[in-house]
Structure 1
Amino acid sequence: MTLLDSHARTGTVARINPVAKLGASALIAIPLVLTLDWLSAAIALVLELALIPFAGLGWREFWVRTWPVWLAAPLTGLTIALYGEASGTVYVDWFVVHVSDGSLELALATMLRVLAIALPSVVLFVTVDPTDLADGLAQVVRLPARFVLGALAGLRMVGLFLDDWRALELARRARGVADRGRIRRFLGMAFALLVLSIRRGAKLATAMEARGFGAPVRRTWARESRFGAREWALMALGLGIALTAVAASVVFGTWNFILGPGA
């Protein structure tokens, strides 16, 4: 465990059930997905940034975790600004590039929406353990145990997948077959890894069946997944952010329903 991981796990949000984190992220994201206006996304983003210090993340850790989001959002906005639908005053009109008032406003709304949706998801899931999430999905949401445990087992295999890729690469280099032909080498390694993954998956499925993971009876759990006051409070915060953003957008007339006639 890294220093960032140990620091993150001491925060207020660290002990909250992962199902509540998933629900709060969904409550924030769904209204923002349904509209494409800058005001609702901006209000949601401001409220989220005000609450992030209470998540137990230091600012250095926050930037380390979220820098891909801060990089992707402006790039997404730039694409919309250059190639979005032109409306209002046109500033640049060259070939397929159309920069206008409408495309710039749409670019700003898109950039803010990406930030408002992605940032809380990243911050909330920094401290989520896959096993805790599986416990919550099975015990709280009541998803089928067979599906949840299979997904958890597959997720746990990701680390082995990466180790196998490195081992294959080193083995091919030791045999002198990895010095040239990068595309051919990649395709060969990908096929070998696919075969290895299928074999390992079949063995893992057999082992899990032998241990009774697929038995048609009500199973017991080693750890109880609780959903109490802290979880409901986090869900309420997510709902409050979404309702505030939507209400402000409707009041000031910027609401732009993506499935409406004007979309």
Structure 2
Amino acid sequence: MIALEPVADPRAPLARRNPVAKLAAALLFSFALVVTVDPVAPAIAIAMELALLPLFGVRYGMLLRRTWPLLIGAVGVMVAMVLFAAERDGPVLLSAGPLVVTSGVLMTTLGLVLRMFAVALPGVIVFATTDATDLADALIQNVRAPARFAIGALAAFRLVPLLGQEWQMISMARRARGVEAGRNPVAKLKLFVSTAFALLVGAIRRGSRLAVAMDARGFDAGTPRTVARRQHFTAADAALIAGALLLAAIALGVSIRLGTFQLIW
């Protein structure tokens, strides 16, 4: 089952900040790291993120449980770069037939993997410390986002955990009917694709029913909506955004000072 509820200590100093401020800080911090492919800046950024994690009230074990898919993605990036990298600069470290691994390939791979973690971790921390309803309220009140968009996104976010449950139900139903792949990898791939297609069809049907139900309840009305919970944007929230920009500038500045900074374009 996919768990998306906040898991942080709500009393932590940064966990109490405005949801929009946390989201803006994460986006600005991540955007600054996207412009470079060197491994130094994202490595410093990851160190900063892990050092600040207790201030968000998130335990390191919980962060690991929420980011394990990134480890699979990192392995995929490494394999793809080692096998299909177009440029193989630097000394050859390993040569086995068509497989040629150079120091340049390893440095590029390391930079991509570290950047993936550095960009993804702020988003994971934001959603681990933020209630989805509070985020929707803050988007409407502080950013003046359309209520239809914010509430629709909230409804979609709330339905994400159902995908894991439906996947299990579809798999169990097919297993009860004798539809199994056994040890055949091709059959496993076909079964995975068909299960994913069935999940997609079910998600589209549920989304259509939800949209009709929300329109029937007046969520698309043009009249102004009231809010039950006020989301205040304070000076501390602005300081969080400024701090994120400062930390990103420090990471990029150290990379430039060491001569490893390299723009992505």
Please indicate, yes or no, whether the TM-score normalized by the shorter chain is above 0.5: yes
Q: By how many angstroms is 1:180 displaced?
A: 2.5
Quick one: distance in 2 between partners of 1:65 and 1:186? 23
- Deviation at residue 60 of structure 1 after TM alignment: 2.8
Instruction: Tell me how far 1:233 sits from its aligned partner.
Output: 2.3
Residues matched between the structures, number:
254
Match runs of 1:64-213 below 5 Å: 64-70=65-71, 72-73=73-74, 75-77=76-78, 79-84=80-85, 85-164=87-166, 166=168, 178-180=177-179, 197-213=203-219
What is the Cα deviation at residue 34 of structure 1? 0.9
| 2:259 aligned with 1:253 | yes
Q: 2:53 is aligned with what amino acid?
A: I
The separation in 2 between residues aligned to 1:7 and 1:54, in whole angstroms, is 10
Q: TM-score, normalised by structure 1?
A: 0.80
Q: State the identity %.
A: 42
Find out whether 1:233 has 2:239 as its counterpart: yes
Q: Greater CA deviation, 199-208 or 46-55?
A: 199-208
TM-score when normalising by structure 2: 0.79
Q: Report SS of the residue matched to 1:91.
A: strand
Residues 141-160 of structure 1: CA distance to partner in whole angstroms, max 9, x if unpaired? 22221122222222223344
Structure 2: segments with no counterpart, 5+ residues: 182-186
Helix, strand or coil: the match of 1:92? strand
The answer to whether the Cα contact below 8 Å between 1:42 and 1:116 also exists between their aligned partners in 2 is yes
Output the aligned Cα RMSD: 3.1
Q: CA shift at 1:114, angstroms? A: 1.9
Q: Structure 1 stretch 71-80 or stretch 47-56: which is displaced more? A: 71-80
CA distance in 2, matches of 1:197, 1:62: 28
- 1:138 to 1:103, Cα distance in 2 relative to 1, 3 A: same
Secondary structure at the aligned position of 2:100 is classed as strand
1:161-205 per-residue CA deviation (whole Å, 9 max, x = no partner) reads 5545555666667xx6x2125678777776766665555444433
Q: 1:100 to 1:233 in 2, by over 3 A?
A: same
CA distance in 2, matches of 1:162, 1:65: 15
Instruction: Using the TM superposition, give the Cα deviation of residue 7 of structure 1 relative to its aligned residue in structure 2, in angstroms.
Output: 5.4
Contact 2:140 2:146 in 1 (8 A): yes
C-alpha deviation, 1:35, in angstroms:
0.8
1:32-83 CA-to-partner distances (Å, cap 9, x unmatched) read 1111112211222222222222221233333333333345435534543454
Residue in structure 2 matched with residue 41 of structure 1 by the alignment: 42
Task: Please state how far the C-alpha of 1:91 moved relative to its aligned partner.
Answer: 2.5
CA distance in 2: counterparts of 1:190 and 1:113, whole angstroms: 29
